[in-house]
Amino acid sequence: MAPPAAMEETAPTINLLSNINDGNNAASQISRVTVVGSGNWGSVAAKLIASNTLKLASFHDEVRMWVFEETLPTGQKLTEVINQTNENVKYLPGIKLGKNVVADPDLDNAVRDAKMLVFVTPHQFMDGICKRLVGKLKEDVVAISLIKGMEVKMEGPHMISTLISEQLRVNCCVLMGANIANEIAVEKFSEATVGYRENREVAEKWVRLFSTPYFVVTPVQDVEGVELCGTLKNVVALAAGFVDGLEMGNNTKAAIMRIGLREMRAFSKLLFSSVKDSTFFESCGVADLITTCLGGRNRRVAEAFAKNGGKRSFDELEAEMLQGQKLQGVSTAREVYEVLRHRGWLELFPLFATVHEISAGRLPPSAIVEYSEHKPNCSLV
Ligand SMILES: NC(=O)c1ccc[n+]([C@@H]2O[C@H](COP(=O)([O-])OP(=O)(O)OC[C@H]3O[C@@H](n4cnc5c(N)ncnc54)[C@H](O)[C@@H]3O)[C@@H](O)[C@H]2O)c1
Ligand SMILES: O=P(O)(O)OC[C@H](O)CO
């Protein structure tokens, strides 16, 4: 059962202007939370949330976590092992998730009673997941996407939060930030940004659900800006990895990060005029760009790709180096490239375009710095 309302006062939340009724302990007011996804970040998100649902009276203690079921080399099902050991032995070994995290391989069952849905799968699976969930949710469900990626459809680019809100007809916020999951798993201090469209009250409820003394969350009214920061930094991370693989040094890497940030901002503002400059100074912006270009998986695999002279494909390196975890940067670079080509913007975004050309094998990794010699006069908004 959820603890008494008084405990809410001692919960580790940041100071909010919220008037959310956390004092109302009626069963109908208590939100059940389900995490859809159980990879590296999905598991850490479940752990974070589960530590708070035990303390905050407005959330049900139990956190359901939908697991894309797989059989481990031991022959056991991943879900069974998570529930027996309280550990995601494949995607987050060595970390206890909290006894109130329940792994569930049945998607319909996992979301059935949820009032708050946290989506955190690799972005390429979300279209299929949303289709499976249509008509399966409770009324008044709210969602948040922790997914860094986008979709490109015939009619143009689609953010994942838009896919969720349109297909499932729910309010969907986003949470992005400088958040390498393994560091948060061991409770090292970091920050994150919740992006919301209009409903500040819902955003603040998400902030309460995620905030801990070591995970400080700030709400920002710019859902597209926050989500595009999280999505596009993965493309810049590939460029940073190429530079590392070619041993070009820190100055070159800093230059790539600066140019990348400039393209991130310009691309975001061309797609959505509402995107705010200030968002790029939040955790979701420059901070995530820095941590990803220093310590992320996209950077690491791109470094190996460049060291091999582009002779081993990203798919091969991903499977070998990440053991089931998924890169988002390569498909995002392709999706961004499609938008640029379709809209006649390729000349405006030489870094983004070149990252795709390299990862698709059409240019050598060294082209990451050569593009600027050929297109020195390109200017961005
Ligand atoms: N790992 C991080 O440090 C981190 C931090 C912040 C944001 N993110 C973002 O979170 C999202 C999820 O990443 P992650 O790190 O939790 O996952 P991951 O890359 O560690 O794991 C891949 C996940 O995909 C699942 N999967 C495989 N095939 C599937 C299918 N057909 N359908 C549905 N699921 C399938 C696997 O079971 C596994 O749970 C991504 O958008 C990522 O960019 C990751
Ligand atoms: O490991 P990456 O490259 O997927 O990046 C992880 C996170 O997005 C960093 O915030």
Q: Is residue 351 part of a domain?
A: yes
Cα 139 to Cα 117, 127, 248, 264: the distances in Å are: 12, 21, 54, 36
How many residues are present in the chain?
A: 381
Backbone angles phi, psi at 295, to 5 degrees: -135, 10
Q: Would you state the pLDDT for residue 29?
A: 80
- Rounded CA-CA distance 310/304 in Å is 9
- CATH number reported for the structural domain that contains residue 239 in this entry: 1.10.1040.10
CA of 338 to the centre of ligand 1 (A): 23
Q: Which of 68, 119, 331 to mutate to test the pocket of ligand 1 (most atoms within 8 A of CB)?
A: 68
* Residue pLDDT, tens place only, 341-352: 999 999 999 999
- 260 with 346, same domain: the answer is yes
Q: Would you state the pLDDT for residue 236?
A: 98
Q: Is 124 annotated as a binding residue?
A: no
Q: Would you state the pLDDT for residue 26?
A: 56
pLDDT per residue rounded down to tens, the chain (381 residues): 333 333 332 222 222 223 333 434 456 689 999 999 999 999 999 999 999 999 999 999 999 999 999 999 999 999 999 999 999 999 999 999 999 999 999 999 999 999 999 999 999 999 999 999 999 999 999 999 999 999 887 777 899 999 999 999 999 999 999 999 999 999 999 999 999 999 999 999 999 999 999 999 999 999 999 999 999 999 999 999 999 999 999 999 999 999 999 999 999 999 999 999 999 999 999 999 999 999 999 999 999 999 999 999 999 999 999 999 999 999 999 999 999 999 999 999 999 999 999 999 999 999 999 875 555 444 454
208 C-beta neighbours (distance < 10 Å), count: 22
- 289 with 211, same domain: the answer is no
Which residue, 221, 247, 270, sits at the end of a domain?
A: 221
Q: Would you state the pLDDT for residue 328?
A: 97
- Rounded CA-CA distance 373/370 in Å is 5
Q: Is residue 285 part of a domain?
A: yes
Stated pTM of the model: 0.92
Q: Would you state the pLDDT for residue 370?
A: 86
- 364 with 238, same domain: the answer is yes
- Rounded CA-CA distance 228/51 in Å is 29
Q: Is residue 124 part of a domain?
A: yes
Two tokens at 287?
């901070």
Q: Is residue 381 part of a domain?
A: no
Atom of ligand 2 nearest to the CA of 177: 10
CB 295, CB 253: distance < 8 Å: no
> Is 253 assigned a catalytic role?
no
Q: Is residue 126 part of a domain?
A: yes
Two tokens at 322?
């990440």
Q: Would you state the pLDDT for residue 27?
A: 60
The number of angstroms, rounded, from the C-alpha of 145 to the middle of its chain's C-alpha atoms is: 7
- CATH number reported for the structural domain that contains residue 166 in this entry: 3.40.50.720
Q: Is residue 380 part of a domain?
A: no
Q: Which of 41, 228, 286, 298 to mutate to test the pocket of ligand 2 (most atoms within 8 A of CB)?
A: 298
- 96 with 177, same domain: the answer is yes
Q: Would you state the pLDDT for residue 28?
A: 63
Which residue, 221, 238, 259, sits at the end of a domain?
A: 221
For the chain, strand residue ranges (E) read 31-36, 59-66, 87-88, 92-96, 101-104, 116-119, 142-145, 150-153, 156-159, 171-176, 190-195, 215-220
- 368 with 231, same domain: the answer is yes
- 208 with 327, same domain: the answer is no
Q: Domain containing 176: what range?
A: 5-221
For 126-255, strand residue ranges (E) read 142-145, 150-153, 156-159, 171-176, 190-195, 215-220
Q: Is 307 annotated as a binding residue?
A: no
- Rounded CA-CA distance 5/68 in Å is 35
Two tokens at 144?
């948040």
Residues 6+ apart with CB under 8 A from 97: 43, 46, 47, 50, 65, 82, 86, 87, 88
- 45 with 185, same domain: the answer is yes
Domains of the chain: total: 2
CA of 89 to the centre of ligand 1 (A): 15
Which residue, 172, 197, 221, sits at the end of a domain?
A: 221
Q: Would you state the pLDDT for residue 4?
A: 35
Q: Is residue 379 part of a domain?
A: no
Cα 28 to Cα 7, 24, 32, 141: the distances in Å are: 19, 9, 10, 13
CB 34, CB 64: distance < 8 Å: yes
Of the candidates 240, 213, 228, which has an alpha carbon nearest to the alpha carbon of residue 306? 240
